[in-house]
Amino acid sequence: MLLHIPEVFTKAEVKALRRTLDAGPWADGNMTSGHQSATAKRNQQLPEDSAQAREVSALVVQALNANPMFVSAALPHTIFPPLFNRYEGGGEFGAHVDNAIRQRDGHRIRSDLSATLFLSEPEDYDGGELIIEEMYGAQSVKLPAGDLVLYPSKSLHRVTPVTRGARVSSFMWLQSLIRDDADRETLFRLDVAIQRVNLDKGPKDAAVIELTGVYHNLLRRWSEV
């Protein structure tokens, strides 16, 4: 499932984040590349141990954990510390699949989901579309600053060349409580339906209570904790 999550950060918050990030020590983006990615990647990245990256990374995780749509869709077990990249001057990232396992500071996660948080407005740069191969074909994603796209890490994806301006974003991986993509999507759609019925009939309605029970029983059956 590919999901657009709007307004993880407000425009004012994005500006504050960018002031911190733009002052950072940007370097060659291949510092975190796997073997496959290193041959396809041309961008800059903020070193993960820099003060700027650590500060903004913590704010991104805090915002994601407070975002109901993200939590419902991702059911996060562990969010790998978000990283930051910048594409300009023809920079691009060719077709690749993210590594299955990510490791940092002795912590290891399975990458079930990938996410890109856009930190540049789409009109500020040309190109830079995130192309994600889905069951129904390639999806082109270029979102407003502060919005995020969430998608399965197993998806083949790429970033088209940026021919004007600069595309700055945060990218991350996470291990979900629900390993299977189809099961995770089922739970998300069920949660959305429950919320709609709840708004219409109220939390004490018999249907809301029964559907909520089904949701938690499925979560209990499928989750890995």
Q: What is the pLDDT of residues 120-166, one digit of tens each?
A: 999 999 999 999 998 889 999 999 999 999 999 999 999 999 999 99
The confidence band for 225, taking pLDDT boundaries of 50, 70 and 90, is confident
Query: Is 157 labelled as part of a ligand binding site?
Result: yes
Query: Is 98 labelled as part of a ligand binding site?
Result: yes
Please state which CATH number belongs to domain 3-176.
2.60.120.620
Q: What is the pLDDT of residues 60-81, one digit of tens each?
A: 999 999 999 999 999 999 999 9
Per-domain boundaries in the chain: 3-176, 181-222
| Domain at 181-222: CATH architecture | Irregular (4.10)
Mean pLDDT, the chain, whole residue set: 95
Dig out the tokens for 16 from the structure: 């504050």
Stretch 204-214: mean pLDDT: 97
Instruction: Please tell me the predicted confidence (pLDDT) of residue 64.
Output: 98
Query: Is 167 labelled as part of a ligand binding site?
Result: yes
Q: What DSSP string runs through 16-68? A: HHHHHHHTS--EEGGGG--HHHHTTEE-EE--TTSHHHHHHHHHHHHHHHT-H
Q: What is the pLDDT of residues 77-107, one digit of tens each?
A: 999 999 999 999 999 999 999 999 999 888 8
